Structure 1
Amino acid sequence: MNYFVLFVFPLVLVCTSAFLPYKQVLQHSRIRGRQHGPNVCAMQQIMGSNKKYFTNCKQWYHRKICGKPTVIRYECCPGYSRVQGEKGCPVALPIDNIYNTLGNVGSSTTQLYSDRAKLRPEIEGPGTFTIFAPSNEAWASLPQEIIDALVSNVNIELLNALHYHMVDRRILTDELRHGATLPSMYQDLNIYIHHYSNGIVTVNCARIMMADHLATNGVVHVIDKVITAFTNTIQDTLDVDDNFQQLRAAVAAAGLEEMLSQDGEYTLFAPTDEAFKKIPPATLNRILGDPEALKSLLNYHILNKIQCAEAIISGAPMETLEGSSLEVGCDGNSHTINGKKIITNKDLLTTNGVIHTIDELLIPDSAKTLLELTKKPGVTKIGDLFKQAGLTSYLEGKELLTLLAPQDVAFTEVSTVMNEDVRNLLLSHIVKDQLSSKYLYHGQLLETLNGKKLRVFVYRNALCVENSCIAAHDRRGRYGSMMIMDKILTPPVATVMDILKADDRFSMLVGAIQTAGLTETLNRPGTFTIFAPTNEAILTLPNRERNRIVGDPSLLKYHITEQILVSGGAASQIVLLKSLHGAKLEVGTKRHVLHVNKFPVIESDLMATNGVIHAINQVLQPSATRQSESQNGMEISSDDILRFGVSPAKVPRPRIRKVRGAILQKSK
């Protein structure tokens, strides 16, 4: 056991340490690899590619990067090598000058171009430098015309390109802070560093593959791309690229040109003109003609940070300037937004951010009409019904409204043949004013478009409007909000007594209520919950018990509480309701069916103006335990203890002493 604790503790320490993320990931890789000997690092390689990553906690257990399976490779950690006959990587590599180090770390092409550009004497001689050296594969991936341009012009272009990869001092990964800029050795033009929480470090959005290869005159970091200098802003890029004419006009109309021209750190997911053409003209014209909706639309495409594509190895929500989030991720070599492969060109760098070109316009909820919000999968049926009813004007106008939208599954067992009753029911699902569920409170009344008053019920695990409870987060549109509900709303139209009278199943219960003198109670304003036994339930009772329900008001009162509990309010928990009798009812849900005292409710949520009715095929009997709990200090008779087997240990001591003599007397 002690050995196990010693083994796990370093892993916990690595995953939570205060080191910079790159060092944390490197240390985690060392720990995972140490079973193979000293200075061995565990690397995860994406199957079918040459891309390798030091492994972090999450990747290690998931064994996936960008949704693709990985294989574990055990390699020497940076700065170490193997020796024949020895386990692991016990030999520290000798330190040489930068020129020779380039050949040892997989960047021999950079070494070759250093010769051609007459850079070799500089990186062999005295001085201290950091070079971000493109790997051989990075050079090979450049188009031939670019290579030809670099090596022409008496090699000055190649020298300038190499100098842009260099800084005139030694900089290890400990100093490569997120958002840092380093003046390069080419006209002091900046190199942009980003150090992400997953341990990936980028240089102008090129990933550092192997870091901290020390040299006698500096350090070499191997990167996966050839980087180039730039001086343009995001706005400058939009101004000169003909693919962004529509975006450029929209940015100008929304007054965002100044922001995209100033200093900052932004990521712009830039829709092309073709992306704008995919939007229905009516929708696009509506947004372009509404300054607030247009600004929301554009801000939904902008992050207030620089997110390089190479630093994305799994999906993650990223907050936009609009306020809501985009799910930015990857799928193999493709990058995704909200699960779609719509990024067509990535990592277009500027001095104030990065641009990723997308071929689909992203429309946030805040720029949508209520009708457009209903196109979300899972709530499309309500929108279709409004179209069939000819009521879409309510969902497309500028009036502030809230749509209580039942999920599609709520309509599976309900007839939606269009008639006036259905139209009226649809209007009962639209509440005046644009509301947010986080501001709803218990007992609040919401007025619908057709004049109905809907009650709000707040429970520990549910927030409900009448019989329907909120099933997902609100969606807030331009003028209206949509609350996604789990059921079709049934606005109340009568009292609980009127509903019972109108339903033949409860005729015997109604007679008992009238005999007991409870009619007036159940007709007055209130907040009743009635667990209503059907005629069938009463008829199954022996004659004596049947007569008792008619002649014993206390038994009837055990079926009634003075607080409204709809079925959704008892989901995933047990609720104790105090009845008018005084004893408590135990209400809960089992396999999505409401139960009371462990008996199933055969029909729930018959909504009334003064409460709710749940139909049951059982007459409920208050148990001795429930009676004693509700009596809270009332006398417990010896008859109760003998008849129901109440344990004396559960009875307060003064009452135990009081009834002990009676118990002994009966036992004689």
Structure 2
Amino acid sequence: MARRWLLLVSLAAGLLAAAAGKRVPWWSIRIAQQQGPHACVVEQVPGTYMELWTECRYWMHRKICGQKTLIRYECCEGYQQLGEDSGCTAVKPLKNLLETAEDLGAGRFVAAIRGSGLAEELGKGGTFTLFAPTDSAFERMPASLREALQAGGAGNAVLLYHLLDGKLTSREMRADQLVPTRSAGHRIRLNKYSNQIRTANCRLLMRKDQKATNGIVHVIDGVLDPSSISNASVVDLVMQDGRFTMLTEALQRSGYLRELRDLPRAISILAPSDEAFQKLPARRREKIMRDAGAVRALLQNHVMPHPICKSAILSEHKMKSMAGNKLTFQCDRDSVFVDRSEARSDELMAEDGVIHLLDDVIIPDRAKSLLELAEQQQLDTFLSLVEVAGLRDTLRDGGDFTLFVPDEKAFRAMPERLREAARSDASAARRLLLFHGAEGRHLSKDIADGQVVTSLDRQSALRLQVHRSALGVEDAMVRQADLEGQNGVLHVIDRVLQPVSESAGDILRQRGGFSTFLQAMEKVMMTNASDLALHNQGACTFFVPNDEAFKELGLAKTDMLMGDAQMLAQTVKHHITDRMLPAGSFKPKLTYHVATKQGTVDVQKAGGQLTVDNARILKRDILNTNGIIHVIDKVLLPSSVVESTFKSQSATRRRANSRHTNHATSTSYSRRVTTSSFRSERRRHRSRRPGASRSRHSQTSRRAQTSG
């Protein structure tokens, strides 16, 4: 391809930052389009032998092992430039396997094949796959391998080891695959990774799938050694190598050796050398070795469930070990690191995996002390209080303990008076910290809702809760659970815990403003204490209406509740649940159906405001020996009480209407009777008046006369 249109693009730091993890930026697309058709990206790491032919037109700018890559464009596989035309518009004629390899920069290896007489055999027919080392890789070949190349003629084992019968494309390669070669009894380990890297015996495939008349060529960055893959297992290789005697001892003492032998898949062993183990203090090393759980976790932490080649590590990548921990693999220009431990020398390969020699032991959480776990989580305030309280040796070497450790935000929210007292007074710091722990290992899988454990002060109780998506202790929520160390378990919580010694009733009486609810509680307790059953529980939630809430309910309804023992008991029970529910257990934009002792209420959180049915929570998380109190601004009436109240009010209205009707009827009757009597009396009075008889007589006479 003519130099005229080759373009070398240096990636500026700002462009890298803009493009990292995103789609291909517009400027890269524009540059690619300017190259014309069938031009593909070649990526190069400056100052190294590493080049990658992507066979892609568009490519994301990136760093490889911390270095900015350079990008150039060449003709894609099978194309070449035609005259002065832009791009690659001519189809390249197919050549045989060796000629194709020469054109791709593997001329010295091809010369070795021709010099051995193997070229004639390849020309007799059939198809092949050739792994062709570049000329620079051929020059870097070890002297022992160079000597091996010069013997054996056409039957040279090293040359034949680079040849497979038939065509094998990179698309057909599997994640971990052993394929037979033309070198009798020897196989190549092929691997492909999620970052599109392919390897052969951990040698990088720089250029893949180059077609020839009699097969396919893959260009690689190293000469393959048929003796590099041992017939022994990875476990046997570790035991036979004199650099891993302490690792071997740990494998044998733990019994993990047998499990590794029985694994059905290939693995990678990150093998710390004896020098790496000796970097650990002798006391700590012995403590780990005596702890079956810790040494097993340590060994599992050095086993990866698949073969990993150093050449496949291009940037920071996290992978899970057999212990379930994520290990960070990263690289620089010269080395590969696993959690800051350098992987030295080349890989040791076996039929069932790969071995990397490490210069440091990777300590898993299970082999760390609780204090180391706290340091790892940057729980600085807790660690400073440990020093003040004089508990360093206890929490480093003692156990087993479970610690509920407040995070930094929780300590900042703690009342300043209490925080300063703990920082300056060893006794106060000790009391505070001991209340945040319990004896034994309490992992989340072993915690039941309502479980109570005795704190390390051996006086106070810690009440544990299991919520839908979290764990709780007292009024705190667990933000990170199950950090299991060598001497216990650490849970990170969002509040500083304080022991309580007062009951719910005592706290409400002291605070004032809850006299009506307290009176209702006392009445229910006097008539039938079993309805509440609070005497043996310390994990209830009380939704307590203040006196203003009862005023809003109205005097008539309040009097009605207080006067009806059954309705009062139902109402009080509707404000109590049998579970401890801190405010932190409720998440926004969700509705929680909470069972009370009488029915169900709906709890919601929106904009930081908690509501229970139609009542707002005014004050939350008031701890007491009976559980936790939330103050609300309305009385919660159960449906049975609402219905009874409605019926009672209806009956009262009917009675009132009846009395009104009867009174009106009686009044009307009385008026009628009075009027009649009054009229009769008037008639009698008139009959006594003078002239009245004459008048009647005259009338009679007149009637008689008329009649006559």
Q: TM-score, normalised by structure 1?
A: 0.72
Cα distance in 2 for partners of 1:500, 1:334 equals 66
Residues 601 and 612 in structure 2, CA contact (< 8 A), matched pair in contact too? no
Are 2:358 and 1:354 equivalent residues in the alignment? no
1:139 alignment partner in structure 2? 138
Partners of 1:420 and 1:287 in 2: CA distance? 32
Which stretches in structure 2 are left out of the alignment for 5+ residues?
A: 1-27, 526-531, 563-567, 648-708
Q: Which amino acid aligns with 1:93?
A: K
| Whole-angstrom distance in 1 between the partners of 2:507 and 2:442 | 31
Answer whether contact 1:574 1:587 (CA < 8 A) is retained.
yes
Partner of 1:472: helix, strand, or coil? strand
The aligned residue for residue 26 of structure 1 is: none
Of the structure 1 ranges 97-106 and 154-163, higher mean CA displacement relative to structure 2 is found in 154-163
Counterpart Cα distance in 1 of 2:486 and 2:304: 21
The 1:500–1:46 alpha-carbon spacing in structure 2 relative to 1, beyond 3 Å, is farther
**Contact 1:558 1:583 survives alignment (8 Å):** no
Consecutive unaligned residues of structure 1, counting only runs of 5 or more, are: 1-28, 638-668
Write the deviation string for residues 589-628 of structure 1: whole angstroms up to 9, x where unpaired: 647x87889999886422112232357xxx8357xxx989
Alpha-carbon offset, residue 284 of structure 1: 0.8
Pair 1:457-2:465 in alignment: yes
SS in 2 for 1:180: strand
2:439 matches 1:426:
no
| Cα pair 1:316 1:328 within 8 Å, conserved | yes
Contact 2:517–2:546, Cα closer than 8 Å, also in 1: no
Q: How much does 1:467 deviate?
A: 0.9
- Structure 2: distance between partners of 1:375 and 1:360: 20
* Mapped partners of 1:597, 1:609: distance in 2: 26
Contact 1:402 1:435 in 2 (8 A): yes
Distance, in Å, in 1 between the alignment partners of 2:445 and 2:170 is 45
Tell me if 1:570 matches 2:586.
Answer: yes
Matched residue of 2:216: which SS?
A: strand
Shift of 1:210: 1.7
Deviation (angstroms), 1:55: 8.4
Q: Deviations over 1:159-183 (max 9, x none)?
A: 4422221224333334433332222
Q: Are 1:475 and 2:477 matched, yes or no? A: no
Summarize the alignment of residues 74-85 of structure 1 with structure 2, pairs less than 5 Å apart. 74-84=73-83
Q: Secondary structure at the match of 1:342?
A: strand
Counterpart residue identity of residue 99, structure 1: L
Instruction: Give 2:628's aligned residue.
Output: 612
The answer for the alignment partner of 1:304 in structure 2 is 305
Correspondent of 1:529 among 534, 542, 546: 542
Quote the Cα distance in structure 1 between the aligned partners of 2:470 and 2:140. 56
For 2:206, give the aligned amino acid: M
Q: Which amino acid aligns with 2:218?
A: H
1:345-371 deviation per Cα after TM superposition (whole angstroms, max 9, x unaligned): 353323332112222211222333434
Counterpart residue number, 1:295: 296
Identity %: 28
- Aligned counterpart, 1:650: none
Cα offset, 1:193, TM superposition = 1.4
The letter of the residue matching 1:588 is: K
* Paired position in structure 2 for 1:22: none
CA distance in 1, matches of 2:501, 2:463: 13
Q: Are the counterparts in 1 of residues 118 and 154 from structure 2 also a CA contact under 8 Å?
A: no
- Alignment correspondent of 2:214: 217
Question: Deviation at 1:491?
Answer: 3.8
Aligned twin of 2:160: 163
Question: Which whole-Å deviations, capped at 9, do the CAs of 1:210-264 have from their partners, x for residues lacking one?
Answer: 2222223332111122221225343454456554343333334334556667895
State the Cα distance separating 1:470 from its structure 2 match: 1.2
Determine if contact 1:531/1:559 at 8 Å carries over to the other structure.
Answer: no
Match of 1:343 in 2: 343
Q: For 1:248-327, what aligned pairs fall within 5 Å after superposition?
A: 248-255=248-255, 265-327=266-328
**Which piece of structure 1 moves more, 483-492 or 596-605?**
596-605
* Distance change >3 Å, CA 489–CA 345, structure 1 → 2: farther
Asked if 2 retains the 8 angstrom alpha-carbon contact of 1:405 and 1:429, the reply is yes
Partner of 1:130: 129
Between the aligned partners of 2:627 and 2:345, the Cα distance in structure 1 is 59
Structure 2 CA distance for aligned equivalents of residues 228 and 271 of structure 1:
25
Whole-angstrom CA distance in 2 between matches of 1:157 and 1:244: 39
The corresponding residue for 1:25 is none
Residue 178 (structure 2) pairs with residue 181 (structure 1)? yes
Deviations 1:32-64 (A, max 9, x none): 98997664545555577653263899x966845
Aligned positions of 1:13-24 closer than 5 A: none
Cα pair 1:558 1:582 within 8 Å, conserved:
no
Q: Is the 8 A contact 1:381 1:408 kept in 2?
A: yes
Q: Secondary structure at the match of 2:376?
A: coil
Aligned-partner Cα distance in 1 for 2:117–2:400: 70
Deviation at 1:573, TM superposition (A): 3.9
Give the counterpart of 1:205 among 191, 202, 205. 202
1:458 is matched by which residue type in structure 2? V
* Residues 493-502 or 282-291, more deviating: 493-502
Q: Are the equivalent residues in 2 in contact too, given 1:150–1:158 (CA < 8 A)? A: no
User: Does structure 1 retain, via aligned residues, the 8 Å contact 2:53–2:207?
Assistant: no
What is the distance in 2 between the residues matched to 1:191 and 1:332? 27
Residues 237, 559 of structure 1: alpha-carbon distance in 2 compared, 3 angstrom cutoff: same
State whether residues 37 and 88 of structure 2, in contact with CA within 8 Å, keep that contact through their aligned partners in structure 1.
yes
Counterpart Cα distance in 1 of 2:156 and 2:560: 100
Distance (whole Å) between structure 1 residues aligned to residue 152 and residue 446 of structure 2: 68
Question: Following the alignment from structure 1 to structure 2, what is the Cα–Cα distance between the partners of residues 444 and 70?
Answer: 57
Q: Is the 8 A contact 1:582 1:631 kept in 2?
A: no
- Mapping of 1:34-113 within 5 angstroms? 39-41=38-40, 50-52=50-52, 54=54, 63=62, 65-66=64-65, 74-84=73-83, 88-113=87-112
**Per-residue deviation, residues 143-174 of structure 1 (Å, max 9, x unmatched):** 6x4576456x6686994422221224333334
Deviation sequence 1:489-521 (CA, Å, 0-9, x none): 23442222222344xxx23x1445456665876
- Output the CA distance in 2 between the equivalents of 1:553 and 1:229: 95
AA aligned opposite 2:286: N
**How many residue pairs are counted as aligned between the two chains?**
588
Q: Is the counterpart of residue 497 in structure 1 residue 505 in structure 2?
A: yes
Contact 1:345 1:358 in 2 (8 A): no
- Alignment RMSD, CA only? 4.8
Mapped partners of 1:205, 1:133: distance in 2: 14
Question: Contact 1:368–1:478 at 8 Å: present in 2 too?
Answer: yes
- Structure 2 letter corresponding to 1:217: N
Aligned letter for 1:436?
L
CA contact (8 A) 1:56 1:198 kept: no
Distance 2:646 2:248 in 1: 83
Question: What residue in structure 2 maps to residue 407 of structure 1?
Answer: 407
Contact 1:606–1:614 (8 Å) recurs in 2 = yes
AA at the equivalent of 2:254: A
Say yes or no: does 1:588 pair with 2:585.
Answer: no
Paired amino acid for 1:348: L
Distance 2:172 2:331 in 1: 28
User: Which whole-Å CA distance do the structure 1 matches of 2:158 and 2:574 have between them?
Assistant: 84
- Structure whose alpha-carbon radius of gyration is higher: 2
Q: Secondary structure at the match of 2:495?
A: coil
CA distance in 2, matches of 1:585, 1:257: 55
Q: CA deviation at 1:569?
A: 1.2
Give the AA of the match of 1:607. L
SS in 2 for 1:306: coil
